[in-house]
Every structure is written in structure tokens, then in C-alpha cells.
A and B are shown apart, each in its own frame.
Chain A
């Protein structure tokens, strides 16, 4: 996502050789690529091959007349629109397709990062290593999907006997699978390649930590209600585009040494426009049940349903405006959804802290001297390039929901309750009864045990 914030047009695309150093201001000597290797004697870094031009033929023909700078602009613009349309399309298709897409994106990101690790460490010939990386990815996904399925598909799981056993011993099975991988790793250690193998082991685990856990947090957010999936992602996309635009037109003061093309004007402009965009988008979306209701699995129809009584968060309320805004707009009160206020918090995070995810990815690319994570999307780079800011956002939304919005998941609580011993259940029953009676939710004449 760093490319979107060019201060000036991307002249560097003119020369393939400059592609590696294209992240610096034009004309500035690219100190860091050389000095990084000289200072530390990192002799192991390969020359990453120049990425082939992936632009489809049709686009190439249509744009063959323009100069290289505008060509790049157009390619990037068209691909952006294509991705956004694709995003809308998947939302239309529903939660199941969204989950599958999240899984695909996760696998692609994992593959991109692992491939970088391979090329950095020349570890293509390491025995077993590819197998082990994919095996660990499978294990971790099995663990997380199992937990998700157990939480949200409780009734389905109780019905089917094999699923019930898998769910009861889920942690044990996952741990056994992981241990198998661990032992295979230890047995695969080869005399001359110990360090390499440990590096790749560490690399795989950190990648799993970043990529897989966060994709599962996204799925948890999705189950809360599609709006908790759509609004954060849209805010991050909007922030990128807006910051780019503001930087393009008004950019003057550099923001951070790490990404010299980012500017304060872009940053601040992006912040304000994202907050406004978030408020407007939430207003539109909060009206529809399809977006607002928690996704539930209907065990009778065996499909996902999104139907419910919207919670207070998604019901219009009147708020009195502060005096300043009253005089500006002439309104005394304004009708808003409480969710819109939360969206301000989400937008603020996306604009202020989200970019640090982008800087982290920039630093990573500079550290390993690569221009993009991969070449999947013409003009944009790899999938990871597009999703680097999203990761922090996904975790933040999940923590935000858990802390400020909802309590625990009721079906999960039921599941845990039924797993307790009977005397413990009785104890809890009595505590609950006392609590409910106190609150007046149970009539006083309700007599049970």
C-alpha cells in the first residue's frame, strides 16, 4: 500500500533497474540498500529477479498510447476499481463465500511470505521444508477453524457423532498434530543446515502468528455482523486512497524516514476524510439487517441466516448537537446510530495506527530488498501488499468488540455449562437464579429446587 502515496508521479517506473530503489525520492542516492549489506556483511541476500510485467494484454493495448507515468496511474486505478467491485460482489454472495475468500487470502499471504523466506535463505533444497511449512499452516488452521465451528455451529456439532468427538477432544487432536510436525522437524535436521532450518522454522511460526491468527479474528468479526467486517476494511481502503490523493495534490512535508513518499498532508487529510467516510458508510449500512445481524447457522435449513432484532447499537437515536455545530447547521438534534460513534473510533484507529502496519511492511521489504511481496496484482504487487494495513485493524476490531460491544457468546457459554459436573451446574443454577430474581427478571413465585 505504500505505492499509493507517491508525492509525485512514479518516474522510477521508467527504469527496471531502479525498481529496487524506487521507494526513495527521485535522485536521492539509495544509501540503505548498499550500506545495509556492507555494514553487516549480509552476504546471503539474493538479487530478487525483476518481476515480470503481469498486466493483461488488453490493458496494455488500450494504454499503449500514453506515457509510462500515466500508464502506471491508469493500470493502478483500473485494478483498484476491479478489486473494490470484487469486494462488493463477494459481500453480495454472503457469509459463506466471504469465509472462503478470507481463507484463500490467508493462504496466498502465507505463501508469499514463505516464498520470500525461501529466496532470502536459498532454502529451496532443504529437505522437507516446504512440506513442513504447509503442514504447520494446516495444523493451525485446523485448530482455529475447529474452535470457530465448535463455538458457532454448536447444535450441528452435537447432532453428528463423529463431529462431537472431534469437538470434545479438539485441543488434544490439534496438539497431537502439531507435535507430529514438531517431531518431523527435529528428525529432519540435517548436519550442514541447522541454522537455515531453524531460521525457516522461526520464519514459518512468525508468519503463522501474523497471518493465520488475524484471518481468524476477521472471521470472528464477520460472525458478529457483516458490518463489523465491511466497515473496517472499507475504512482502511479509504484511508489509503485518500492519503494518496491528499499527498498527490498537497503533499509537502515528509512523514517518516522509512517511507519517504508519505507526507503529513496526506496523513492528516486521510484521517479526516476517513472519519467522515466512516460515519457516512455506517449510516447507510446500519439500516439493513443483512449487515447488522450476527451471522447464525440455521441447523434446519443448513445455511447461514442473518435475521434478528437489531441491537440498540443499530437503532436510530437522537443526540443533541454541541452548540458550535448547532449554529453551523441550524439543527438542534441529529438522528444517528450509536454505531456511527463507534465507527469514528474505528476510523481513527485505521488512520492513525493502521499506517504503522504499512510502515512495518515497508521496513520488511527494505530489509530484504524486495520491491513487492509478489506480483499477483498488476500495478499493486502481491496480496500481502494490499492487506498489510488490514491486519492490525482486524485485531483492533476484535478487541474493540470484545471490550466494548458484546459479552461472551451465549452458545459457547451453554456448551461450557453442559460440560461441567452436575453439582457444579446446580451451584451455577442457584447463583443464576438468585441473580435473576434480584434483577426482577424472574417472578418471585418461581420455585425450583
Chain B
């Protein structure tokens, strides 16, 4: 996503040493010599030359745009692809939760593959025995573990019905651990005399990638189950921040923001922040009306489908608020009717604009460290899937932590499930505790019958 914030319309100068005069002017920061090959200090001799980017642009686009100059051509390709991706996003939302989960899974696999491929190239480890198999095996293990936990939590009723599923759920951790251990032992047995260090590097590379990519994609899915609005609004906010920061940078950018990404500017940063907050606030309003977005996704065991229907929680019911005096005069109204969720969306937007970019800087630093221009070449004009999703990862974790801390409590069906696993005396004592608690709160009528 770093490319979206260019002050000018050109690509970063790494792959094309013969820069356009126009692009150099547009860059204008006087950093024309900004060397992407500043690896002299990183004296590891084995960094490969990244193969030149393959131009993936479809033929039809190429033809349509061949008249324009290189700078505008690039702008158009990027713009068209952005619109295409946004439309795809809307389409998947329309298709429903199951498609979203599949979409998340596909993105996750592609990101994993991109990062692992970079590792291969960096370490020339194509010929390592077993290594590809092991990386994918670990990916499957991690996914099995996480999806199993999700299924057990959210599909409790379905699981109770089917006997083999019950067995798998009850011993889920043990089975996952056994699978992982198998992979671990295979790794140890595959250590080859000449390649120890390489193999350890790839092992660590795989694990860090799993940590980043897989855990966060599962947090995204958990957010989704809270309600599709917790999936749509954060992603849209990050996209909006990227686009508006780019536009503000393009038109008004002057002061560089950080050495790591010289094309980012303070004007873009601040402009992006303000517009993202407004955008988030406005986007939350229409979405919060629809049950389809607002209700937790539940699995209906009778129809065997996902159902999103519920009584919207207070967060999604209109409330009247008294704005501070200043705003009252500005709006010429005493009160405003808002969804409480819109206030939360301000928090989400703030995070997306202020901290989200650090995810982008991290990815930039990573690309510079390993001297690659893009993670891959999947999307013409934009790079790989990872390039598009680098800012999303921190956001997904933040939204998950935010929900867990401020919005909801634990999942009631999960609590019930745990309750049923306890020893009977423990269940009884909890029952008594709960009963006195509910009586205290007035949820249960006090009765004359004695507690045991």
C-alpha cells in the first residue's frame, strides 16, 4: 500500500534506473538518488538480484492505454485495478459470510506463499530437501488448530450432533499438537549436514510468517462472526486512509514523514487521518441500520446455513447525544441522533490512520532489507496480495482486542460448553453462585426455597 502515497505518479526508482525526467521532477524531494540498493551495510553476499517485475497487465488494458505517457498509464492501471478490487470486495460481502471466510482463507494462503517464496529466493533454498512440504504442512497444522477452535466455539450445536466431530473437538488440542510434533520431528530428521543454517533460517522464517499471517487472518474471521460490520468498516477505513493519504500527498504534499518511506508526507498523513475519521463516521451510519451487517453471524443447525438475524444490540440503536457547545452552534441543533457504534468507529479510524501506517512502514523496511520491489506480481500496478494487505494486519488485531475489551464479553455458548465439562460439584457450586447473583440483580424472583 505504500505505492498509493506517492507524491508524484511514478514508481519508486529501484527497478528503473533510467527514470523518466517527468517522474524525477514529480518526486521533487531532491531524493532522486534515493538508492534502493543501500545494502552496502548489509554485507550478506547472498542476497539475490530480484528478477525484474513481470508486467502482468492484461492485454486489453495495455492496448487501451498505449497512447498515454508512462506516468499517466501507470496512474490509470492502478486506478482501474483499485476500482476492480473494491467491486470484488462488495461482491463478496453480498455473497455472505461463508464466501467471506473462504475469501479470507484464500488471501491468507496467497500471502503465506508470497512471503515464503521471498525466503526461498533470499536463501537459495529451492534445493533444500523437504522444505516446501514442511512449510505447507505447518500452514495446514496452524490452520487446522485455529479453524478447529472456531468451529468448536461457533458451531457447538452441529458438533454435538455428529459423533466423529465430537471426538475431534474433545481432543482437538491433542490432535493439533500431535500434527505439529510430526512436522517438528520431520524437520529434525530432514536436517542435512551442509545446510543446517539454511534449514534453521527457513524454519524460523516459516514460523514468523505463520505467526503474522495465520493468527491475524483468524482474528479477522472472529471479528466477522461478531457482525459483518466489524469486518467491513475496519477494512474500508484502511483502504480509505491509503487512498486519501495518497491524494492529499499528491496534491499538497511537501514535508517528508519518515526516512523509511520518503514519498510519504505529513500533509498526506494528516489529511488522511481527518478524512478517514469522517469517512468512518459516515460509513457506520448506513451500515448500522441493517441487521445483515450488525448481527452476529450464527450457524443455524436446522437449515445448515449461516443466519444473520437478531435483536440489534444497544450499540446499533439510535441514541440522542448532546454535542459540546461549539458543535451545537455549528450544527444549529441541540442534540444529534447517532449510533453509539459511530463513536467506536472514530476510535477505529484513529488507529487505522495513526498506527496502521506503521504496518506499511514495516513492510517497506522488509522490502528494502531484502531488496525487493514488491512482494509478488499478482496484481498489475499494485504488486502482490501482501502489498495490499500489509496495513490490514495490525488493524485486524486491534479490532479484535478492541471488541474483546470494550464491546462484548465472552461468548455465552462457549461458557456454557465449559460449564458442562466441569465436575458435578463444581457445577452445583457455580449454579448456586449464579442463582444468588441473579437474585441480587433482580433477574430471578427471590423464593423461599433453600439453596443446597
B 400-429 binary contact with A (CB < 8 Å = 1; else 0): 011011100110101110111111101111
Name the A residues within 8 Å of B437 (CB-CB).
418, 425
16 new A-B pairs (CB below 8 Å) besides A392-B184, A399-B177, A426-B438?
A31-B193, A40-B194, A171-B404, A172-B404, A192-B42, A194-B366, A209-B207, A209-B211, A353-B181, A364-B200, A407-B421, A413-B430, A416-B410, A429-B434, A432-B416, A433-B431
Residue of B204, B258, B355, B449 touching A203 (CB-CB under 8 A): B204
How many pairs of residues, A versus B, come closer than 8 Å at their CB atoms?
Answer: 235
**A182 CB-CB contact with B under 8 Å:** yes
Name the B residues within 8 Å of A43 (CB-CB).
43-45
**A162 CB-CB contact with B under 8 Å:** no
Q: How far is the CA of A137 from the CA of B188 in the complex (A)?
A: 27
- Could you tell me if B191 and A363 are in contact, using CB atoms closer than 8 angstroms? yes
A 438-449 binary contact with B (CB < 8 Å = 1; else 0): 010111011111
- Could you tell me if B42 and A193 are in contact, using CB atoms closer than 8 angstroms? yes
- Could you tell me if A407 and B422 are in contact, using CB atoms closer than 8 angstroms? yes
Residue of A196, A364, A402, A443 touching B42 (CB-CB under 8 A): A196
**Least CB separation from A206: chain B residue:** B204
Interface residues of A (CB under 8 A from B): 31-32, 35-36, 39-44, 168-169, 171-172, 175, 179, 182-183, 185-187, 189, 191-198, 202-203, 205-206, 209, 256-258, 353, 356, 359-360, 363-364, 366-368, 392, 395-396, 399-400, 402-404, 407-408, 410, 413-414, 416-429, 431-433, 435-436, 439, 441-443, 445-449
Q: How far is the CA of A44 from the CA of B428 in the complex (A)?
A: 64
Name the A residues within 8 Å of B412 (CB-CB).
420, 424, 427-428
Q: A408-B421, A413-B419 are in contact. Are A448 and B394 (CB under 8 A)?
A: no
Q: What are 6 of the A-B contact pairs (CB < 8 Å)? A: A169-B405, A175-B398, A195-B39, A206-B204, A366-B196, A407-B423
Closest Cβ–Cβ distance, residue A265 to chain B (whole Å): 20
- Complex interface: stretch among B100-108, B278-286, B334-342, B439-447: B439-447
**Least CB separation from A418: chain B residue:** B437
Q: How far is the CA of A35 from the CA of B423 in the complex (A)?
A: 59
- Could you tell me if A399 and B430 are in contact, using CB atoms closer than 8 angstroms? no
- Complex interface: stretch among B57-65, B78-86, B357-365: B357-365
**B199 CB-CB contact with A under 8 Å:** yes
Closest Cβ–Cβ distance, residue A404 to chain B (whole Å): 8
B 358-394 binary contact with A (CB < 8 Å = 1; else 0): 1001100110111000000000000000000000001
- Could you tell me if B45 and A41 are in contact, using CB atoms closer than 8 angstroms? yes
- Could you tell me if A193 and B443 are in contact, using CB atoms closer than 8 angstroms? no
Name the B residues within 8 Å of A433 (CB-CB).
431
Closest Cβ–Cβ distance, residue A217 to chain B (whole Å): 11
Name the B residues within 8 Å of A41 (CB-CB).
45-46
Name the B residues within 8 Å of A422 (CB-CB).
438, 441, 443
Q: How far is the CA of A399 from the CA of B180 in the complex (A)?
A: 12
**Least CB separation from B205: chain A residue:** A202
Name the A residues within 8 Å of B428 (CB-CB).
436, 441-442
Q: How far is the CA of A16 from the CA of B44 in the complex (A)?
A: 30
Residue of B362, B418, B422 touching A186 (CB-CB under 8 A): B362
Q: A427-B412, A428-B419, A429-B434 are in contact. Are A402 and B199 (CB under 8 A)?
A: no
Closest Cβ–Cβ distance, residue A255 to chain B (whole Å): 11
Closest Cβ–Cβ distance, residue B111 to chain A (whole Å): 17
**Least CB separation from B174: chain A residue:** A403
- Could you tell me if B184 and A360 are in contact, using CB atoms closer than 8 angstroms? yes
**B163 CB-CB contact with A under 8 Å:** no
**Least CB separation from B200: chain A residue:** A367
Q: A172-B401, A189-B365, A413-B418 are in contact. Are A44 and B43 (CB under 8 A)?
A: yes
B 103-147 binary contact with A (CB < 8 Å = 1; else 0): 000000000000000000000100000000000000000000000
Q: A353-B185, A432-B419 are in contact. Are A194 and B365 (CB under 8 A)?
A: yes
Residue of B361, B416, B449 touching A448 (CB-CB under 8 A): B449
**Least CB separation from B198: chain A residue:** A40
- Could you tell me if B184 and A356 are in contact, using CB atoms closer than 8 angstroms? yes
Name the A residues within 8 Å of B362 (CB-CB).
182, 185-186
Q: Which of A35, A192, A197 has the most CB of B within 10 A?
A: A192
- Could you tell me if A195 and B415 are in contact, using CB atoms closer than 8 angstroms? no
- Could you tell me if A186 and B424 are in contact, using CB atoms closer than 8 angstroms? no
- Could you tell me if A420 and B404 are in contact, using CB atoms closer than 8 angstroms? no
Q: How far is the CA of A257 from the CA of B447 in the complex (A)?
A: 74
- Could you tell me if B420 and A435 are in contact, using CB atoms closer than 8 angstroms? yes
**B171 CB-CB contact with A under 8 Å:** yes
Q: A172-B402, A206-B207, A422-B441 are in contact. Are A432 and B196 (CB under 8 A)?
A: no
Closest Cβ–Cβ distance, residue B429 to chain A (whole Å): 8
Name the A residues within 8 Å of B260 (CB-CB).
186, 189
Name the A residues within 8 Å of B170 (CB-CB).
403
Name the A residues within 8 Å of B47 (CB-CB).
195
- Could you tell me if B420 and A400 are in contact, using CB atoms closer than 8 angstroms? no
B 178-214 binary contact with A (CB < 8 Å = 1; else 0): 0001001101110101111111100011011001000
Closest Cβ–Cβ distance, residue A141 to chain B (whole Å): 17
Name the B residues within 8 Å of A359 (CB-CB).
188, 191
Q: A399-B174, A408-B418, A432-B434 are in contact. Are A367 and B193 (CB under 8 A)?
A: no
- Could you tell me if A205 and B438 are in contact, using CB atoms closer than 8 angstroms? no
Q: How far is the CA of A197 from the CA of B260 in the complex (A)?
A: 13
Closest Cβ–Cβ distance, residue B287 to chain A (whole Å): 23
- Could you tell me if B188 and A414 are in contact, using CB atoms closer than 8 angstroms? no
- Could you tell me if A416 and B42 are in contact, using CB atoms closer than 8 angstroms? no
- Could you tell me if A36 and B435 are in contact, using CB atoms closer than 8 angstroms? no
Name the A residues within 8 Å of B258 (CB-CB).
187
- Could you tell me if A403 and B171 are in contact, using CB atoms closer than 8 angstroms? yes
- Could you tell me if A425 and B434 are in contact, using CB atoms closer than 8 angstroms? yes
Q: How far is the CA of A366 from the CA of B416 in the complex (A)?
A: 50
Q: A422-B438, A428-B412 are in contact. Are A194 and B42 (CB under 8 A)?
A: yes
Name the A residues within 8 Å of B205 (CB-CB).
202
Name the B residues within 8 Å of A195 (CB-CB).
39, 42, 44, 47, 369-370
Name the B residues within 8 Å of A206 (CB-CB).
204, 207-208
Closest Cβ–Cβ distance, residue B215 to chain A (whole Å): 11
**Least CB separation from B204: chain A residue:** A206
Q: How far is the CA of A183 from the CA of B259 in the complex (A)?
A: 14
Residues of B23-57 whose CB lies within 8 A of A: 38-47
**Least CB separation from A42: chain B residue:** B197
- Could you tell me if A448 and B444 are in contact, using CB atoms closer than 8 angstroms? yes
**B397 CB-CB contact with A under 8 Å:** yes
Name the A residues within 8 Å of B394 (CB-CB).
179, 182
Closest Cβ–Cβ distance, residue B196 to chain A (whole Å): 4
- Could you tell me if A413 and B415 are in contact, using CB atoms closer than 8 angstroms? yes
- Could you tell me if B449 and A446 are in contact, using CB atoms closer than 8 angstroms? yes
**B331 CB-CB contact with A under 8 Å:** no
- Could you tell me if B434 and A258 are in contact, using CB atoms closer than 8 angstroms? no
Name the B residues within 8 Å of A426 (CB-CB).
438, 443-444
**Least CB separation from A426: chain B residue:** B443
**Least CB separation from A423: chain B residue:** B443
- Could you tell me if A32 and B42 are in contact, using CB atoms closer than 8 angstroms? no
**B173 CB-CB contact with A under 8 Å:** yes
B 137-161 binary contact with A (CB < 8 Å = 1; else 0): 0000000000000000000000000
**B433 CB-CB contact with A under 8 Å:** yes
Q: A32-B193, A429-B434, A441-B428 are in contact. Are A186 and B361 (CB under 8 A)?
A: yes
Name the B residues within 8 Å of A403 (CB-CB).
170-171, 173-174
Closest Cβ–Cβ distance, residue B134 to chain A (whole Å): 13
- Could you tell me if B173 and A363 are in contact, using CB atoms closer than 8 angstroms? no
